[in-house]
Amino acid sequence: MGRLIRYEGVGSRLVQRVKIDPAILKFEMSLARPLSRSVRLNGFATCLRLEEIYWEVLADMARINECSINALLSYVDREVHLRHGGVKNFSGLIRVVCVMHLSGAARGVAGTSQKQFFWG
């Protein structure tokens, strides 16, 4: 049976039963801690600030693609410039790419690369 979720405040009332409680799924606060790393995107040095969990997903994607995280990020940067003229929020783009990668893994899409998710 799911946990109960209630509104806080005046007249707290039952909202719904939750089947998956995101607050107890092996959550570690350290995964939400932002980390800044120096990366080289197509020859240009820059700093990218992402939460630790995203760096772990990027490491997994790089392992699957048999490349470094820098090479993976350079590929995404190059493709977004070629196909869409660039992006204003590269960190946000990388978070979306990571979520799409995890979404495909959750659906059991075997051998799906970030290119298939990101570019269709």
Cα 67 from Cα 6, distance rounded (Å): 46
- φ/ψ of residue 79, rounded to 5: -65, -40
Could you report the per-residue pLDDT of 57-92, keeping only the tens digit for each? 999 999 999 999 999 999 999 999 999 999 999 999
Could you report the per-residue pLDDT of 16-49, keeping only the tens digit for each? 666 666 666 667 888 889 999 999 998 999 999 9
The predicted model gives 46-55 an average pLDDT of 96
Predicted local distance difference test score (pLDDT) of residue 109: 64
The predicted model gives 87-110 an average pLDDT of 88
For 72, the enclosing helix (H) or strand (E) is: helix 69-84
Domain 28-119 is classified in which CATH homologous superfamily?
protein bp1543 (1.10.3990.20)
Domains of the chain by residue range: 28-119
Q: Is residue 113 scored above 70 in pLDDT?
A: no
